[in-house]
Structure 1
């Protein structure tokens, strides 16, 4: 089954609670994970909650890596969505789990962007002639 991207839903239990509390630490871990899997970083945004917990996202050209932490439960929820088949998001999972000292991350993989009726490999960037063909197909699907 061909898809535009891969979305990993990562459950991290038993993490070091101190590393889950500070936005700068969490940001460093996610940015380093993006670099480890050779992603192209576009932007970052992180917020530290009071009394504790962090939410953040690393926007990458290939999509995003996001997190929300619950230090009081030694838990973090991480999403890694990558488009195309060049990046290896599993590398980012391993890096993040190791840095948060999670011994057994749980990972669910979803294929995103499965295009109904499409045959063959899906390109995440289309040439101008391919864009016209896709637009024509979409217009026809709206009529039927």
Structure 2
């Protein structure tokens, strides 16, 4: 069996309020995290909520990085999904948690698109 992609889901705690509430900083960190992992960026879209919080996505050729922040809680929910062998989602995750000044991170990896080897096809004669 092989997987089409790797999806890291990270619960990021104890982050800087100022960083998590600054759309420009969050976007910059997420873009640089994608580049640190070796990804090729296609599109970037971020939104600032009132009174606080940022959500955004960095679309990469290999899939995406997404974030939703709760600055008042020092918390960010982060997804880093990559396809192929070239990009390591953990590199992006490590970079962004360092830049968010996270005190604690709980992350897990899920294999996406696990493909079973094809069964021998029956032949109708």
Q: Give the TM-score, by structure 2 length.
A: 0.91
* Greater gyration radius: 1
1:89 positional shift: 1.1
Q: Deviations over 1:87-119 (max 9, x none)?
A: 111111110010000133111110001124448
8 Å Cα contact 2:58-2:66 kept in structure 1: yes
Moved beyond 3 Å, runs of 4+: 116-119
Q: Which deviates further from its counterpart, 99-108 or 36-45? A: 99-108
Question: How is 1:1-144 mapped onto 2 (pairs within 5 angstroms)?
Answer: 1-118=1-118
- How far apart are residue 23 of structure 1 and its match? 1.0
- Cα RMSD between the aligned structures? 1.6
Residue 48 and residue 37 in structure 1: after superposition, are their counterparts in 2 closer, same or farther (change >3 A)?
Answer: same
- Describe the shift of the 1:14–1:118 C-alpha distance in structure 2 as closer, same or farther (beyond 3 A): farther
Farther-moved stretch of structure 1 (38-47 vs 108-117): 108-117
Cα deviations across residues 52-99 of structure 1 (Å, max 9, x unaligned)? 000000000000000000001000000000001111111111100100
Report the number of matched residues.
121
Q: Secondary structure of 2:24's partner?
A: helix
Q: Provide the TM-score with structure 1 as the length reference.
A: 0.80
Tell me: higher relative CO, structure 1 or 2? Use CA pairs within 8 A at least 6 residues apart: 2
More strand by share: 2
Structure 1: gaps (5+ residues): 120-136
